Amino acid sequence: MPKSFSVIPMKNIVLIGFMGTGKTTVGRLLANRLGRPFFDSDKKMEYENNLSIREIFEVYGEFYFRQQEKMVIAKLSHYKNAVIATGGGVVLSLENMNNLKRNGVIITLAASVEAILERTGRRNTRPLLDDFAQRERIIKKLLKERAELYYNADYSINTSSKSLQQVINEILFFLRQGGYLRGKR
C-alpha cells in the first residue's frame, strides 16, 4: 500500500544517469510509493515513433533520435508531480536539461562500470553498446564524457551495491530534507 506523501506542486522528480543505473526500475517504484504518475522518456519516444529505440537508431540514426528525444523531453517537462526516467544521453542537450530543471528536481543515478556491464548485458536493446567486445571500453568512454553533466544534478546516488529499497529510501530522504516532499514515512 503506498505511503502518504505530497510533493510540492509543479515539481517533477527527474531521474537521469547512464544506461543500466536503474532509472526506469527505480522510477516506477518511486512513483508507486508516492502515488504519482510515472513516465519513461524512451518508452514515450518508442510509442510516438511506433518503433523501438534500437529501430529508431537503425532506421534514422542517432541525430534523429536526439531530435525526437528533445521533443519528448519538452512535452514531459510540462507535466506536474510526475516521476520521469530519462534516457542516458538526455544530458547531452542543454535544452533538455533546462526544460527538465524548470519544473523538476534532478536526481542522478550512478553505478560502477562493472554494475553497468552486468545490467546492460541482460538485454540487446542498447544501440550504443552493440559491439559486445568493446562494451567496457565504450561504457568507460561515454561515462567519462558525460560525468560532469550527470553530476550537475540536485542529488546523486550510486546504485551499484544498494538494493532498490535502499535507493528509494535515500531519494525520499533527500526529497524530504530538501523540502520537495512532505508527509508520513
**Per-residue model confidence as pLDDT tens digits over 66-98:** 999 999 999 999 999 999 999 999 999 999 999
Question: Which amino acid makes up residue 36?
Answer: R
124-133 per-position pLDDT tens digit = 554 555 555 6
Instruction: Give the model's pLDDT for residue 130.
Output: 52
| 106: enclosing H helix or E strand | strand 104-110
Cα–chain center distance at 63: 20
Contact 15, 26 (CB under 8 A): yes
Instruction: Give the model's pLDDT for residue 43.
Output: 96
User: What confidence category does residue 185 fall into, taking pLDDT thresholds of 50, 70 and 90?
Assistant: very low
Whose CA is closest to 15, among 164, 160, 157, 178? 157
Residue range 23-36: mean pLDDT, rounded: 96
151-176 per-position pLDDT tens digit = 999 999 999 999 999 999 999 999 99
Collapsed DSSP state (helix, strand, coil) of residue 19 = coil
- Per CATH, domain 5-177 is 3.40.980.10: no
Whole-number Cα distances in Å, 151 to 42, 60, 101, 107: 21, 30, 14, 9
Binding residues for ATP: 20-25, 126
Distance in angstroms (rounded) separating the CA atoms of residues 109 and 157: 5
Residue range 95-119: mean pLDDT, rounded: 94
Binding residues: 20-25, 42, 66, 88, 126, 146
User: What confidence category does residue 34 fall into, taking pLDDT thresholds of 50, 70 and 90?
Assistant: very high
Binding residues for Mg(2+): 24
Write down the domain spans for the chain.
5-177
Instruction: Give the model's pLDDT for residue 108.
Output: 98
Binding residues for substrate: 42, 66, 88, 146
